[in-house]
Amino acid sequence: MVELSIEQFVFDAPTSRHVLSSPGALKTVAKRYRSTDARSAKDGTGITLLLVHGTGFHKEQWEPTIQAIFNHYASPGSSQRTKVTEVWSFDWHDHGAAAVINREALKARGDRGGSLRELGDAMAAFVKSEHVKGHTLVSVSHSLGSAATLFSTKLFPVHELPYQTLFFVDPTMCREEFWHQNLHIRKGLFDYGALATGSARRRDRWSSKEEAFSWFSTRFPWKTWDTRAVRSFVDHALERRDEEVRLKCNKLHESEYYSPSENIFDPPHIISKLCHAVPIHIIWGEIPDIMCVDPSFTFTSIRYSHPVTLLQAHDCS
């Protein structure tokens, strides 16, 4: 197993263009992953991955995947031409460690959650920074995190995008008119109202992390996860506070993201403008559970001028 160097960074988020009154200045929190032999990352060669999680998750959720990627490139016979030399993983502003750091700032806003457009602005600022200057950037986003990545592209001319390639894993996106015209299909795939209600009402505190681990391990959807992912969720999405273990992300903030909004409706329009300029790959999970939208449902609603690659999870092994 490749030994990784992991360092957390906290950045000032750009002044919000999307919140009319924003008394709380947010911080952007990210972790950088490198192998202990990181010479190629430092000189800008190789590929740098930028990872964005989905609703209710946290940046460390990617760590089993990150470890597997570095292990792959360390194995004999692996291609060095496309070697990943550095990975950055970002928290949403109201998830994971960022939720703790931004707690008072979010309260100053009326205790409302963050904005994926704000996260997009923060990502756009990051890719312009010295941290990844000269790097070949490839973005990988999960679920609704895809919206933040796509929002970040709006701050660049189409012919000057900072990303070499865009990957979206189980993206949640749909044209608004298609959403309303196909209510019967949408209800058969997922029910956002049920997700919002369920997340707002779910249990969010335990006596210990071990109790929390046992609880999550026997309930959907966590019981379907790899054990490493469940453990990571307990370690990084929960905190000890007031003699209890609680979710770092306010469950009401999480619930807000399940409302049909620009986070779902705008991405197809953005993709239709980007797909002729940058390769875009959509990866669907092998198990079509409640969090996965049927590909025909999503992409019937996208009008694009250049093919978008659709992959199932088993195609990516």
Q: What is the pLDDT along the chain (317 residues), one digit of tens a residue?
A: 899 999 999 999 887 555 544 556 899 999 999 987 765 555 557 899 999 999 999 999 999 999 999 999 888 877 666 789 999 999 999 999 999 999 999 998 887 788 999 999 999 999 999 999 999 999 999 999 999 999 999 999 999 999 999 999 988 887 777 767 766 655 555 566 677 777 788 899 999 999 999 999 999 889 999 999 999 999 999 999 989 999 999 998 998 888 778 888 888 889 988 988 999 998 877 766 554 444 444 444 444 444 455 554 444 43
**Residue 134, helix vs strand vs coil:** coil
Which CATH number applies to 4-179+262-316? 3.40.50.1820
Beginning with the edge strand found earlier in the chain, give each strand of the sheet holding 238-241 in spatial order. Answer: 205-206, 244-247, 238-241
Of the candidates 236, 229, 165, the residue with the CA atom closest to the CA atom of residue 8 = 236
Q: Which helix (H) or strand (E) holds 89?
A: strand 84-90
Name, in order, each residue with C-beta under 8 angstroms of 56's C-beta and a sequence gap of 6 or more: 95, 199, 237, 249, 254
Distance between CA 78 and CA 272 in Å, rounded?
A: 34
State the distance between the two ends of the chain, measured CA to CA, in whole angstroms: 18
Global pTM exceeds 0.85: yes
Contact (Cβ atoms closer than 8 angstroms) between residue 148 and residue 123: yes
Alpha helix positions (H), the chain:
39-42, 63-74, 96-101, 103-108, 116-127, 145-153, 176-181, 183-189, 192-201, 209-217, 227-237, 251-256, 262-265, 267-274, 295-299
Burial of 17 (0-12, 13-18, 19+ CB in 10 A): exposed
Of the candidates 287, 186, 294, 221, the residue with the CA atom closest to the CA atom of residue 56 = 221
Q: What distance lies between CA 12 and its chain's CA centroid? A: 19
Taking each helix axis from N to C end, the angle separating 145-153 and 267-274, rounded to the nearest 10 degrees, works out to 50
pLDDT digits (tens, 9 = 90+) for 55-112: 999 999 999 999 999 999 888 877 666 789 999 999 999 999 999 999 999 998 887 7
Distance between CA 1 and CA 182 in Å, rounded?
A: 48
Distance between CA 285 and CA 294 in Å, rounded?
A: 10
Q: What is the pLDDT of residue 172?
A: 84
How does strand 163-169 pair with strand 136-142? Answer: parallel
CA angle 110, 54, 275 (to 5 degrees): 115
Q: What is the pLDDT of residue 202?
A: 85
Type of residue numbered 195: L
